[in-house]
Protein backbone atom coordinates (compact mmCIF):
# COMPACT_ATOMS: atom_id res chain seq x y z
CA UNK A 1 0.00 0.00 0.00
CA UNK A 2 1.26 3.46 -0.93
CA UNK A 3 2.67 5.40 2.02
CA UNK A 4 2.05 9.15 1.75
CA UNK A 5 3.38 12.09 3.74
CA UNK A 6 1.05 15.06 3.42
CA UNK A 7 2.54 18.49 4.04
CA UNK A 8 0.51 21.64 4.61
CA UNK A 9 -0.24 24.58 6.84
CA UNK A 10 -2.68 24.49 9.72
CA UNK A 11 -6.20 24.09 8.48
CA UNK A 12 -9.13 21.73 8.31
CA UNK A 13 -8.91 21.20 4.54
CA UNK A 14 -5.72 19.19 4.92
CA UNK A 15 -7.22 17.09 7.68
CA UNK A 16 -10.18 16.23 5.46
CA UNK A 17 -7.84 15.20 2.63
CA UNK A 18 -5.93 12.94 5.02
CA UNK A 19 -9.19 11.34 6.19
CA UNK A 20 -10.31 10.81 2.60
CA UNK A 21 -7.03 9.13 1.64
CA UNK A 22 -7.04 6.91 4.71
CA UNK A 23 -10.62 5.85 4.03
CA UNK A 24 -9.41 4.58 0.65
CA UNK A 25 -6.73 2.43 2.18
CA UNK A 26 -3.65 4.66 1.90
CA UNK A 27 -1.20 4.96 4.78
CA UNK A 28 -1.01 8.69 5.40
CA UNK A 29 0.79 10.88 7.91
CA UNK A 30 0.33 14.63 8.12
CA UNK A 31 2.94 17.22 9.03
CA UNK A 32 2.68 20.99 9.21
CA UNK A 33 5.23 23.13 7.45
CA UNK A 34 8.72 23.24 8.99
CA UNK A 35 11.75 25.00 7.54
CA UNK A 36 14.00 21.96 7.25
CA UNK A 37 12.56 18.62 6.06
CA UNK A 38 13.83 15.50 7.80
CA UNK A 39 15.27 13.21 5.08
CA UNK A 40 15.25 10.20 7.41
CA UNK A 41 11.53 10.62 7.95
CA UNK A 42 10.91 11.12 4.23
CA UNK A 43 12.61 7.80 3.44
CA UNK A 44 9.73 5.99 5.14
CA UNK A 45 7.26 7.20 2.51
CA UNK A 46 6.64 6.48 -1.14
CA UNK A 47 5.21 9.90 -1.98
CA UNK A 48 5.02 13.45 -0.66
CA UNK A 49 1.69 15.24 -1.15
CA UNK A 50 1.92 18.99 -0.65
CA UNK A 51 -1.06 21.34 -0.38
CA UNK A 52 -0.27 25.00 -1.19
CA UNK A 53 2.98 25.37 -3.12
CA UNK A 54 4.69 27.92 -0.87
CA UNK A 55 4.11 25.69 2.16
CA UNK A 56 5.29 22.40 0.72
CA UNK A 57 8.06 23.46 -1.70
CA UNK A 58 11.01 22.33 0.45
CA UNK A 59 9.44 18.94 1.02
CA UNK A 60 8.79 18.51 -2.69
CA UNK A 61 12.43 19.36 -3.38
CA UNK A 62 13.58 16.82 -0.78
CA UNK A 63 11.26 14.19 -2.29
CA UNK A 64 12.78 14.76 -5.72
CA UNK A 65 16.32 14.42 -4.33
CA UNK A 66 15.40 11.16 -2.59
CA UNK A 67 13.65 9.77 -5.66
CA UNK A 68 10.18 9.80 -4.09
CA UNK A 69 6.95 10.51 -5.94
CA UNK A 70 5.66 14.05 -5.47
CA UNK A 71 2.27 15.75 -5.74
CA UNK A 72 1.48 19.47 -5.51
CA UNK A 73 -2.10 20.59 -4.89
CA UNK A 74 -2.70 24.22 -5.91
CA UNK A 75 -5.49 25.68 -3.81
CA UNK A 76 -5.88 29.21 -5.20
CA UNK A 77 -3.75 32.05 -3.85
CA UNK A 78 -0.59 29.96 -4.22
CA UNK A 79 -1.16 29.81 -7.99
CA UNK A 80 -1.62 33.59 -8.18
CA UNK A 81 1.52 34.14 -6.13
CA UNK A 82 3.43 31.73 -8.36
CA UNK A 83 2.33 33.64 -11.47
CA UNK A 84 3.34 37.09 -10.23
CA UNK A 85 6.59 36.20 -8.45
CA UNK A 86 10.00 36.68 -10.10
CA UNK A 87 13.67 36.02 -9.50
CA UNK A 88 15.40 33.04 -7.90
CA UNK A 89 12.39 32.04 -5.82
CA UNK A 90 10.23 31.79 -8.93
CA UNK A 91 12.93 29.73 -10.64
CA UNK A 92 13.00 27.36 -7.65
CA UNK A 93 9.21 26.98 -7.67
CA UNK A 94 9.09 26.51 -11.44
CA UNK A 95 11.71 23.78 -11.26
CA UNK A 96 9.61 21.93 -8.69
CA UNK A 97 6.40 22.34 -10.67
CA UNK A 98 8.05 20.92 -13.79
CA UNK A 99 9.70 18.05 -11.91
CA UNK A 100 6.65 17.09 -9.85
CA UNK A 101 4.96 13.81 -10.78
CA UNK A 102 1.40 15.09 -10.48
CA UNK A 103 -0.31 18.46 -10.14
CA UNK A 104 -3.80 18.93 -8.70
CA UNK A 105 -5.87 22.12 -8.98
CA UNK A 106 -8.97 22.92 -6.95
CA UNK A 107 -10.24 24.85 -10.00
CA UNK A 108 -9.39 24.53 -13.72
CA UNK A 109 -8.66 28.25 -14.19
CA UNK A 110 -5.56 27.93 -11.97
CA UNK A 111 -3.78 25.98 -14.71
CA UNK A 112 -3.49 29.21 -16.71
CA UNK A 113 -1.48 30.83 -13.92
CA UNK A 114 0.80 27.86 -13.32
CA UNK A 115 1.33 26.90 -16.95
CA UNK A 116 1.29 23.14 -16.52
CA UNK A 117 -1.49 20.68 -17.21
CA UNK A 118 -2.87 18.84 -14.23
CA UNK A 119 -5.93 17.21 -12.74
CA UNK A 120 -8.84 19.25 -11.39
CA UNK A 121 -9.35 17.97 -7.86
CA UNK A 122 -11.44 20.05 -5.44
CA UNK A 123 -10.88 19.34 -1.78
CA UNK A 124 -13.30 16.74 -0.37
CA UNK A 125 -16.27 17.82 1.75
CA UNK A 126 -17.44 16.09 4.91
CA UNK A 127 -21.08 15.74 3.93
CA UNK A 128 -21.78 13.68 7.04
CA UNK A 129 -21.42 16.84 9.13
CA UNK A 130 -24.48 18.34 7.49
CA UNK A 131 -26.95 15.46 7.25
CA UNK A 132 -27.83 15.72 10.94
CA UNK A 133 -28.91 19.36 10.48
CA UNK A 134 -32.05 18.60 8.49
CA UNK A 135 -35.24 19.65 10.18
CA UNK A 136 -33.63 22.28 12.38
CA UNK A 137 -35.40 25.64 12.86
CA UNK A 138 -34.84 28.64 10.58
CA UNK A 139 -31.39 30.28 10.64
CA UNK A 140 -30.74 32.86 13.36
CA UNK A 141 -28.48 35.08 11.25
CA UNK A 142 -28.37 36.23 7.64
CA UNK A 143 -24.84 36.11 6.20
CA UNK A 144 -21.71 34.15 7.02
CA UNK A 145 -18.69 35.82 5.42
CA UNK A 146 -15.24 34.24 5.25
CA UNK A 147 -12.35 36.64 5.85
CA UNK A 148 -9.26 35.34 7.69
CA UNK A 149 -7.08 37.64 9.77
CA UNK A 150 -4.14 39.75 8.61
CA UNK A 151 -3.82 42.86 6.45
CA UNK A 152 -3.13 40.93 3.26
CA UNK A 153 -6.08 38.60 3.83
CA UNK A 154 -8.31 41.60 4.54
CA UNK A 155 -7.44 42.86 1.07
CA UNK A 156 -7.72 39.53 -0.72
CA UNK A 157 -11.00 38.52 0.91
CA UNK A 158 -12.57 41.97 0.60
CA UNK A 159 -13.20 42.93 4.21
CA UNK A 160 -14.04 46.42 2.95
CA UNK A 161 -16.87 45.03 0.82
CA UNK A 162 -18.68 43.18 3.60
CA UNK A 163 -18.33 46.11 6.01
CA UNK A 164 -19.76 48.46 3.39
CA UNK A 165 -22.59 45.99 2.82
CA UNK A 166 -23.24 45.78 6.56
CA UNK A 167 -23.47 49.57 6.86
CA UNK A 168 -26.01 49.71 4.04
CA UNK A 169 -28.07 46.76 5.33
CA UNK A 170 -28.32 47.38 9.04
CA UNK A 171 -31.28 45.02 9.30
CA UNK A 172 -29.06 42.05 8.40
CA UNK A 173 -27.09 40.07 10.96
CA UNK A 174 -23.64 39.29 9.57
CA UNK A 175 -20.93 36.98 10.89
CA UNK A 176 -17.31 37.31 9.75
CA UNK A 177 -15.32 34.14 10.33
CA UNK A 178 -11.67 33.20 9.86
CA UNK A 179 -9.75 29.94 9.75
CA UNK A 180 -7.49 27.99 12.06
CA UNK A 181 -4.30 29.16 10.35
CA UNK A 182 -5.44 32.81 10.21
CA UNK A 183 -8.17 33.52 12.79
CA UNK A 184 -10.34 36.55 12.14
CA UNK A 185 -9.28 39.35 14.48
CA UNK A 186 -10.86 42.29 12.68
CA UNK A 187 -11.86 45.28 14.80
CA UNK A 188 -15.43 46.05 13.76
CA UNK A 189 -17.74 48.56 15.44
CA UNK A 190 -20.99 47.75 13.69
CA UNK A 191 -23.87 46.45 15.84
CA UNK A 192 -25.06 44.01 13.18
CA UNK A 193 -21.63 42.40 12.64
CA UNK A 194 -20.13 39.64 14.77
CA UNK A 195 -16.51 38.50 14.32
CA UNK A 196 -15.70 34.85 15.08
CA UNK A 197 -11.95 34.00 15.00
CA UNK A 198 -12.49 30.42 13.80
CA UNK A 199 -14.53 27.31 14.51
CA UNK A 200 -13.22 23.71 14.47
CA UNK A 201 -14.19 21.88 11.32
CA UNK A 202 -16.44 19.37 13.08
CA UNK A 203 -18.60 22.27 14.32
CA UNK A 204 -18.90 24.09 11.00
CA UNK A 205 -22.12 22.28 10.13
CA UNK A 206 -23.85 23.98 13.05
CA UNK A 207 -22.38 27.35 12.02
CA UNK A 208 -23.68 26.98 8.46
CA UNK A 209 -27.11 26.01 9.77
CA UNK A 210 -27.38 29.27 11.73
CA UNK A 211 -27.00 31.40 8.57
CA UNK A 212 -29.14 31.90 5.50
CA UNK A 213 -26.22 32.35 3.11
CA UNK A 214 -22.47 31.91 2.85
CA UNK A 215 -20.34 34.42 0.93
CA UNK A 216 -16.69 33.88 0.12
CA UNK A 217 -15.22 36.56 -2.11
CA UNK A 218 -11.60 37.05 -3.18
CA UNK A 219 -9.65 39.43 -5.37
CA UNK A 220 -7.48 36.51 -6.51
pTM confidence score: 0.78
Question: Within a domain: residue 49?
Answer: yes
> Beta partners for 198?
none
For 188-219, how does the pLDDT look when each residue is reduced to its tens digit (9 = 90+)?
999 999 999 999 887 888 898 899 999 988 76
Task: Indicate whether 54 and 77 sit together in one domain.
Answer: yes
The answer to whether residues 74 and 31 touch, using CB atoms and an 8 Å cutoff, is: no
Asked, for residue 15, whether it belongs to a domain, the answer is yes
Q: Considering only residues 138 and 194, tell me which one the structure prediction assigns the higher pLDDT.
A: 194
Residue 4: the pLDDT is 96
Give the Cα separation of 64 and 95 in Å (integer): 11
Among 120, 148, 183, the domain-final residue is 120
Inform me whether the pLDDT recorded for 132 exceeds 60. no
Q: For residues 109 and 180, state if they share a domain.
A: no
Among the candidates 89, 120, 151, a domain finishes at 120
- Domain span at residue 190? 129-215
The last residue of one of the domains, among 120, 150, 179, is 120
Which of 15-24, 121-130, 131-140, 192-201 is predicted with the least confidence, judged by mean pLDDT? 131-140
How far is the C-alpha of 148 from the C-alpha of 152, rounded, in Å?
9
Inter-residue contact 186 to 205 (CB < 8 Å): no
Contact by Cβ (8 Å): 59, 7: yes
pLDDT greater than 60 at residue 38: yes
Give pLDDT, residue 101. Answer: 97
Same domain, 107 and 19: yes
Q: How confident is the model at residue 8 (pLDDT cuts 50, 70, 90)?
A: confident
Report the chain's mean pLDDT, rounded to a whole number.
89
179 in helix, strand or coil?
coil
Amino acid sequence: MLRILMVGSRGSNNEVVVEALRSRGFQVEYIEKVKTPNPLRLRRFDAVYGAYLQTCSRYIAAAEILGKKSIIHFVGSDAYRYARDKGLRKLFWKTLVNACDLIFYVSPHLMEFVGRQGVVMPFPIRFDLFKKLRGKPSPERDTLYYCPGGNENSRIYRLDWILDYAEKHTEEKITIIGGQAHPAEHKVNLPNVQVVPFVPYDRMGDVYAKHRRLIRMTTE
